[in-house]
């Protein structure tokens, strides 16, 4: 069974190649379109500059979204861990109290047996 951390790492590792492929494909596509377009050098440079800014903004937004999702997952995992820790702590207290009651009962029984003799 996978832990939340393993699931998050798996999802993150699956997203990286997709983002990389999208970024590389966009750059190649934009460069190819610009190089084969019948324009002057100045127009082409301006178009490349505009596309680079657009691509940078898109990549920045994608990274922000991915980071936001990762932070959300981390908060979820952290909350889940806290709940489990609290549950285990309560179980431990209950078990210790039960054992102390048993020891106390056994000691009382032993004390009564000693007094009977």
Q: pLDDT tens digits for 29-77? A: 877 776 776 767 788 788 888 888 888 888 888 888 888 988 999 999 9
Give the CA distances from residue 7 to residues 14, 45, 59, 81, 101, in Å, rounded to whole numbers and listed in that order.
10, 44, 24, 15, 42
Number of domains in the chain: 1
Residue 2 DSSP class: -
pTM of the model: 0.45
Question: The tokens of 58 are what?
Answer: 């898109």
Instruction: Decide: 51 and 39 in contact? Cβ < 8 Å.
Output: no
pLDDT category at 97 given cuts 50, 70, 90 is very high
Give the CA distances from residue 53 to residues 27, 49, 58, 60, in Å, rounded to whole numbers and listed in that order.
11, 6, 9, 10
Q: Report pLDDT for 107.
A: 87
Domain that holds residue 56: 4-116
Q: Report pLDDT for 88.
A: 93
Q: Report pLDDT for 39.
A: 67
């Amino acid at each position: 069974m996978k832990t939340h951390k393993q699931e998050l790492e798996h999802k993150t590792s699956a997203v990286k190649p997709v983002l990389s492929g999208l970024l590389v494909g966009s750059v190649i596509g934009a460069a190819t379109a610009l190089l084969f377009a019948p324009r002057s050098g100045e127009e082409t440079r301006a178009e490349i500059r505009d596309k680079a800014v657009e691509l940078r903004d898109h990549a920045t937004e994608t990274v922000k979204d991915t980071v936001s999702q990762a932070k959300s997952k981390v908060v979820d995992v952290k909350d889940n861990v806290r709940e489990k820790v609290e549950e285990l702590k309560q179980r431990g207290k209950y078990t210790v109290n039960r054992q102390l009651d048993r020891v106390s009962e056994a000691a009382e029984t032993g004390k009564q047996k000693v007094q009977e003799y």
